[in-house]
Structure 1
Amino acid sequence: MTDHVDTTVSTQSTVEETIDVLCVDDDRDYLELIEEHLSRNEDFAVRTETTPSAALDALDEVDCVVSDYDMPGMDGLDLHAKVRERSATLPFVLFTGSARAEIAEQFPDDIWTEFLRKDDPKATMPILAGRVRRLVDHHRTLRQANRSLTAIEATGDGIAVVAPDGTFTFVNRVFASRFGADPEDLAGQPWQTCFPDNEVERLESTAIETVRDDWQWTGGCRYLTDGGSEFTAQTRVAGLDDGSLVFCLTDSDE
């Protein structure tokens, strides 16, 4: 027997998180100019340092580092290397008057690091703010996704995500273990491989159609292991906005 559960969720507006930016430049006047422009963004909190060594002491408190390149004692790329020793993914913008060609061979191949040339402040500062926000938003999204995956792995339920093309894109260890497999063994496989043929037909005509109508489906399912044996498990199937499916295997009677 199936349950039709309305999955409509009310959304609440949330206060936008503050983006803590650390700006490093030995030119105090230009540093003040950066701070003035970035601080016009209400969600930015800006801290400034005139030496890279002082900046290194503040890394735990920031979401992004914006650094000049040509500084005495330690240039911007040296600072970047020190930052990467502490954090492989902390967003970093090298903001410099030097042309990129001058430092091309030294510039890191790193998705969390961007280069921006100091030009007319009226044109460049909005670009800088946009680069910082994009890097930080990406970093926060990835961090949240990693936390979610950790939580999924910790649950006692078997969970798998099926892409719109019908193949598994994510399988947690609990789900895979029910089939005597590892998650990577099931990744990329059609979801139908986990069910006997007549169960596939039933799911396609009931569960999948129900989910396409913006409902969840819950019911008992027969599963097929790699070795050809079957087991029955209570299962929830839900849909995601992009057309993906989520299978949640909650219990089984093997």
Structure 2
Amino acid sequence: MRTDGNNRTTDAVSQSDTEQIHVLHVDNDPEAQDTTKIWLERTCDRARVESVERATDALAVFDEGGVDCIVSDYDLPGMDGIEFLRTVRERDPFIPFILFTGSGTEEVASEAISAGVTDYLRKSGQGAYEFLTSRMEHYVNTYRTEKIVGRRLRAMETAREGIAMFDEDGQFIYANQAFAEMYGYTTAELLKERWKLLFDPEDREYVENTIMPAVPHKGRWSDELVQRRKDGSPVHVSVALSYAENGTMICVAFDISEETEAERLLDEEKQRFELLIEAITEYAIFSMDPEGLVTTWNSGSERINGYHHGEIIGEKFSI
């Protein structure tokens, strides 16, 4: 995950900074509708303003989807701006909602804040419209970025592989359920700890002095490690660390204990088979590669053919 200086992902920033902005403007004054639409679309070439007179009409537009920001007056027929805001918040707690009014009071501002308004702006000359454009763009970019990051976090949370994040000191700042379960902890327990918790005490100095400094320097690090679960049992993992520009280290871990155990059993079986073959003296048993070079030679082959092991290995079978 790449970040800019504001700790936003750069691909999310580029997307939110270039996509068209659908602004839903609610005001029952036709002149105010025209002024706001002209000003926003002239000062922000990404803005597309759709104006309606009533909150009920605005809700119908909102429910169709695709709205990025709501700019609403307070004094509306049928349902005022605060009631409209509360209804919107029931549908979407985070979409930017700017109460842009010339008839509001301190009491209205207080109500709006309590209801979850994103910003409260007074209509007071040209400067108000300049500020409205600036605030609208900022809130929409933030809203879009948070949605992208939120989708990624949800994807990480449901991923089968273990994913964690920690700072340059190794302090956990995030761990998905798969990661926590791999080590027998809860996510809450890990967030109180540092990554070295998962290592044997004798390995923790290597973690702090070798692995952790290598990641910011090289940008990434990977290896197979034997770590410890909460109950003390070993877990063989394949770990990859990558470094984000904001100082966060992203860790992806796979439990390869079963694969490692299968390889160990296979090696043991192979060794037993080789010992068995070597113990047979009544028969000559040997193997060759595709080119006919002798690769193994048991004691029976030596007794029957007369060649010692060192003489025949690597020679053509035609000898």
* TM-score normalised by the chain length of structure 1: 0.88
CA contact (8 A) 1:168 1:191 kept: yes
CA contact (8 A) 1:97 1:118 kept: yes
| Aligned residue number for residue 32 of structure 2 | 30
Give 1:105 shift.
4.2
Give 1:104 shift.
3.9
Distance 1:84 1:161 in 2: 31
Distance 2:46 2:110 in 1: 35
| Aligned residue number for residue 100 of structure 2 | 95
Q: Which structure has more strand as a fraction of its residues? A: 1
Classify 1:215/1:150 alpha carbon distance in 2 versus 1 (closer, same or farther; 3 Å): same
How many residues matched? 244
Which among 43, 47, 67 is matched to residue 46 of structure 2? 43
Distance 2:32 2:218 in 1: 54
Distance 2:112 2:74 in 1: 11
| Aligned residue number for residue 61 of structure 2 | 58
Percent of residue pairs bearing the same amino acid type: 31
* Matched residue type, 1:48: S
Q: Per-residue displacement from partner, 1:39-78 (whole Å, max 9, x unpaired)?
A: 0111111111112111111002311110001122221111
Task: Please say if 1:209 is aligned against 2:213.
Answer: yes
CA contact (8 A) 1:231 1:253 kept: yes
Distance 1:112 1:244 in 2: 32
| Aligned residue number for residue 67 of structure 1 | 72
Give 1:88 shift.
1.7
Which among 105, 120, 130 is matched to residue 126 of structure 1? 130
How much is the aligned-residue C-alpha RMSD, in angstroms? 2.1
Give 1:155 shift.
2.4
Determine which structure has greater relative contact order: mean sequence separation of CA pairs < 8 Å that are 6+ residues apart, divided by chain length.
1
Larger radius of gyration: 2
Q: Per-residue displacement from partner, 1:170-221 (whole Å, max 9, x unpaired)?
A: 0011110011122122113111111112322223333222212133111111
Task: Please say if 1:232 is aligned against 2:236.
Answer: yes
* TM-score normalised by the chain length of structure 2: 0.71
CA contact (8 A) 1:161 1:247 kept: yes
- Unmatched 5+ residue regions in structure 1? 1-6
| Aligned residue number for residue 140 of structure 2 | 136
